[in-house]
Structure 1
Amino acid sequence: MLININPKLPMRDKKATREFYMTQLGFQEFGSADYDGYLMVQKDSIQIHFFEFKELNPKENYGQVYIRTDDIENLYQTLLDNKTRIHPNGQLEVKPWGQKEFSVLDPDYNLLTFGQSI
């Protein structure tokens, strides 16, 4: 039985990734160990892991995660209040597939899409 999923995304700079996820998105670092070249962050019941890839060209990164939420309006407003840059093509809107969604790019251009069923 599958019970959970923790995506692993590439990062060039652990400090910049940690800062973005904690300051802009409200995540906390998961665990007490500081692994070289690896980072784990958590918010509510969502965990995202990162592996170091210093040679990553962000404009060629196709890392993507779809995160479901039950309060998308409040999350969106919180990110706006934090001055988080919303993806230019990912403003909050209702999609034809019955989801209200918005997207952000992290410092390495991993695409995070947040969605709520309507």
Structure 2
Amino acid sequence: MLNQIHPKLPMRNKAVTREYYTSQLGFHEFGSADYDEYLMMEKDNIQVHFFLFQELDPKENYGQVYIRTDNIDEFYQSLVAKKTSIHPNGPLETKPWGQKEFSVLDPDNNLLTFGQSM
């Protein structure tokens, strides 16, 4: 019965979050309503939602999302071409559990890991 999930992550600044997800990751804003304290971003078949948390200390943020893709090499290369910072501990590599993965940190230190089954 379950068919989608839309994670909610904290953001300190809506404009900064929107800019990062748009310019670095290729998302676009979802929906026509503009709420001061909420943002919905979409790419292909996924959405990531954000709630305003101005007091967030990025060093204490443990927000994480695992996003599956069917063409990780192409997506990774598109981010490298945009000079998107790849997490130093999350380079593109095949893991022992059969996933090819890489990770990025958004401006609020939310960890986004992208993976594809090998």
Task: Output the TM-score relative to the length of structure 2.
Answer: 0.99
Letter in 2 for 1:42: E
Runs of 4+ off more than 2 Å:
none
CA deviations on 1:47-85 (whole Å, 9 max, x unpaired) are 000000000000100000000000000000000001100
CA distance in 2, matches of 1:76, 1:36: 32
Matches within 5 A, 1:7-86: 7-86=7-86
Structure 2 spans left out of the alignment, 5+ residues = none
Q: Secondary structure at the match of 1:33?
A: coil
Task: Output the TM-score relative to the length of structure 1.
Answer: 0.99
Give how far 1:3 is off.
1.2
Letter in 1 for 2:99: Q
Give how far 1:111 is off.
0.1
CA deviations on 1:10-41 (whole Å, 9 max, x unpaired) are 00000000000000000000001101110000
Q: CA RMSD in A?
A: 0.4
The number of residue pairs the alignment matches comes to 118
